[in-house]
């Protein structure tokens, strides 16, 4: 069995990894469907062209201008299956209905936990010990479809996204392979029960509140590294020696050279910060909690 598969993503390494896995399983990737991220909201500016020029030579590349174009553009390439990960649009039912075997979506959480656009940030912020990789059959709601394959990834110590994500590559491939195998066998997956939807962080989440527990502050600072906000806010902010800075790394144990601050229930070490841009500093002072 060889399926014509369309890959839908905004993330270049996902395109490369999915393309390779699909071919190894004997399927035929036929197109990349992506969108132009003109505001660099979903990734670095270079990703637009990394995707378009990096896609295998035999893929048609489709950049729809609007959601209503998804169905006709997909129909043009006659997919048996769509595999999707990291695409910001909610997919309308007519586009979901195009491929015979539907849309296989990857969501980086232990669904039904942490549905929504920034699940890793929410897992970290919630104090979870692990995140997940879930491949599920996409339905008309967000991240709610029947689960085909799932893996657990321990969260360990805080780590930069740019070193954390690439480490997960092999596990994504393994999970995708299992999901494809189940789809090929005609399995329908396990229906999700319960779960919640969490949206982007907002300005309300921007400031660290040292009256809270050290662990809570630690997790919020860490989670901002994995978060996005639609209102332009970017935490975690803290006033140190009278100046607002962005906290990049914190530790619950003493680290040489780190600044110790006192939280509601004990100390936290501020390991790394960065200065705010002039514009951010102006904005943040207007928003700084009055209790500070």
Catalog residues that contact another protein under the rule CB under 8 A: 36, 38, 48-49, 52-53, 57-66, 69, 72-73, 75-78
**Residue 96: CB minimum distance to another protein, A:** 17
Q: Tell me the angle at which helices 161-184 and 12-24 cross, rounded to the nearest 10 degrees.
A: 30
Q: Where are the beta strands (DSSP E) in 102-221?
A: 103-107, 130-137, 147-154
**Residue 51: CB minimum distance to another protein, A:** 10
**Residue 49: CB minimum distance to another protein, A:** 5
Neighbours of 205 (CB within 10 A): 18
Q: Which is nearer to another protein, 56 or 191 (CB)?
A: 56
Determine if the peptide bond prior to 27 is cis (ω within 30°): no
Q: For the chain, how big is the Rg over CA atoms in Å? A: 21
**Residue 54: CB minimum distance to another protein, A:** 10
Q: Which is nearer to another protein, 49 or 230 (CB)?
A: 49
**Residue 76: CB minimum distance to another protein, A:** 4
17 Cβ partners below 8 Å, 6+ apart? 169, 172, 173, 176
149 Cβ partners below 8 Å, 6+ apart? 134, 135, 175, 176, 178, 179, 182
What gap in Å lies between CA 141 and CA 112, rounded to an integer? Answer: 13
Q: Which is nearer to another protein, 60 or 181 (CB)?
A: 60
Count of CA atoms in the C-beta half-sphere (13 A) of 242: 0
Q: Which is nearer to another protein, 60 or 130 (CB)?
A: 60
The owner of tokens 């369309």 is 6
Please report, for residues 29, 45, 158, 198, the alpha-carbon distance to residue 116 in angstroms, rounded to integers and kept in the order given. 27, 23, 22, 5
Q: Which is nearer to another protein, 72 or 267 (CB)?
A: 72
Q: Which is nearer to another protein, 54 or 116 (CB)?
A: 54
Q: Which is nearer to another protein, 50 or 174 (CB)?
A: 50
Contact predicate 274/248, CB 8 Å: yes
**Residue 117: CB minimum distance to another protein, A:** 21
What gap in Å lies between CA 292 and CA 290, rounded to an integer? Answer: 5
The owner of tokens 């979870």 is 128
**Residue 41: CB minimum distance to another protein, A:** 14
């Amino acid at each position: 069995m060889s399926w014509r598969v369309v890959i839908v993503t905004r993330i270049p390494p996902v395109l490369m990894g999915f393309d390779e896995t699909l071919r190894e399983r004997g399927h035929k990737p036929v197109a990349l469907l992506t969108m132009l991220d003109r505001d660099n909201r979903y990734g670095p500016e270079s990703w637009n062209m990394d995707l378009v020029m990096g896609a295998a030579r035999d893929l048609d590349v489709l950049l729809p201008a609007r959601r209503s174009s998804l169905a006709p553009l997909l129909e043009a390439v006659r997919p048996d299956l769509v595999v999707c990960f990291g695409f910001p649009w909610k997919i309308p039912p007519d586009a979901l209905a195009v491929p015979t075997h539907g849309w296989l979506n990857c969501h980086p959480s232990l669904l039904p936990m942490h549905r929504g656009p920034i699940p890793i940030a929410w897992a970290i912020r919630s104090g979870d010990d692990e995140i997940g990789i879930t491949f599920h059959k996409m339905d008309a709601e967000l991240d709610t479809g029947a689960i085909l394959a799932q893996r657990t990834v321990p969260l360990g110590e805080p780590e930069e996204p740019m070193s954390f994500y690439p480490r997960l590559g092999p596990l994504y491939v393994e999970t995708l392979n299992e999901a494809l195998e189940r789809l090929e066998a005609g399995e329908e997956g396990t229906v999700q029960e319960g779960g919640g939807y969490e949206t982007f962080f907002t300005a309300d989440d921007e400031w660290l509140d040292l009256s809270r527990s050290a662990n809570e502050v630690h997790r919020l600072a860490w989670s901002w590294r994995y978060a996005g906000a639609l209102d332009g806010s970017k935490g975690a902010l803290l006033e140190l020696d009278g100046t607002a800075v962005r906290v990049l790394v914190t530790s619950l144990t003493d680290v040489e050279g780190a600044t110790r601050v006192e939280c509601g229930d004990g100390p936290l070490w501020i390991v790394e910060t960065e200065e705010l841009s002039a514009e951010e500093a102006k904005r943040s002072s207007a928003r700084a909690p009055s209790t500070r």
